[in-house]
Structure 1
């Protein structure tokens, strides 16, 4: 086994372990609050769904890729291949949806009474909660395509049009592949559009509120960052991190598709990028938790 493969395997292993533990802690943190009698708002339940989706991504992509990098061959059965790819696609889709709903929820929460978003405040818990479950159903249905075309490497039928994906294989068909990409891309880009839109509204609302408070009491403005400012930074950081890694992943997918050289390196970088957001997102959420809670309570009481 080459030293480069061992190094890549070690990186995948570290990313998977850190991300898995971070998301498990996030999941446990909010469930513990719920069991202790703390009434969880919808935002916290969305974060729970996000942590579950991230765990699926890391386990179903990081673990097999780590085993492959360490030299293990044909370690997944046909059922294991289908299930692994299916759950990974579901987790990836729900991660996108949960991040979007988190941004939308935050925008509705802090919207002033005179804004259009304020009419959703009374119903947002039921609507946002239902939307998260609908995202699970949506991606479960879409991802069922993987159950048909993905199979174990030891199955040798129709080898002429086989695409080797490392630890599993799939059959190649240009028309079907284009439809497959469109099927996944349309809801992904819609979610990303809503995510950026909601985050932009949130930033504008918090910026206007900060300016208003400075005009009302400029003498009392503290040099420290206010909860609103920290909330803006958190929202921007979370969404920007997601968009950044998602965009890079899309670029590497295109490079892998059209490149005939260095595919081993491109595939490994793509897998590493795919696991970056699920790994870092729980730490981005937990770090400013008290600030988010103060800012959310402040605006909900307005």
Structure 2
């Protein structure tokens, strides 16, 4: 967790420096498109500050009032970042429309291009590093902040192309068109972050993680794990909460059922390389399971096994045994 905090603090410091650099470029050039990029940098700084707080809070242990931990605060961080990006996009579009009717003269474009190019390189390198670390540390906040910096770098690249064309051709109207395009792109980026955060706050099952769990279970499944269904995954910060139903032979005693459930728990934690808390409901098999059951020498089998069902995210997320697959 300390590593996450250090990364966010570095991103926050870098964001302040880059923001000041972009506003310097705007003051040099009077370019509306550069102002667009600078305004988005304000969002980077505010978002990194809240991201640091959310990582600090999510690291707190579970307590009586928060039995699932504090990890969901990361979704609030992503929501704030997405909301700020969306608002920045609206303001950027408003400024661009204003300059259609009241254009402003441009100057010192070459110096502005150099400063903006420097900020784009730093943002892309820092964003890529944060996204890679988010996968290793299983941090949604680092991922959102890193992707935002990458998005900022991509928009900066488009901005540089436009500024260079303006410098070569002298067609100042391109500045307004470029600002409108970047504003729309920023709006869409903000919407995607808002959508992701709301899904997490509403406990929407993470289907990508469901697919990852299915792949682990399919690869290492045991014959007496007859069926897995109604599997759901929610992310709480760096922790995962998984619940599912597992069908086991109905003649297993309670100790054997406990051993199999524990084996599934350990397998998923090891296979996902994450801290996952599982709630597994054990179901007894019924005769309708026999046609896809892999158990050899089963003493109660009513028909031969004739179907081999591959566990994928579609299959194991269904809230029913797989009688008709």
* Higher share in strand: 2
The structure with the larger Rg is 2
* Structure 2 length-normalised TM: 0.31
Highest relative contact order (Cα 8 Å, sep 6+), 1 or 2? 1
* Structure 1 length-normalised TM: 0.33
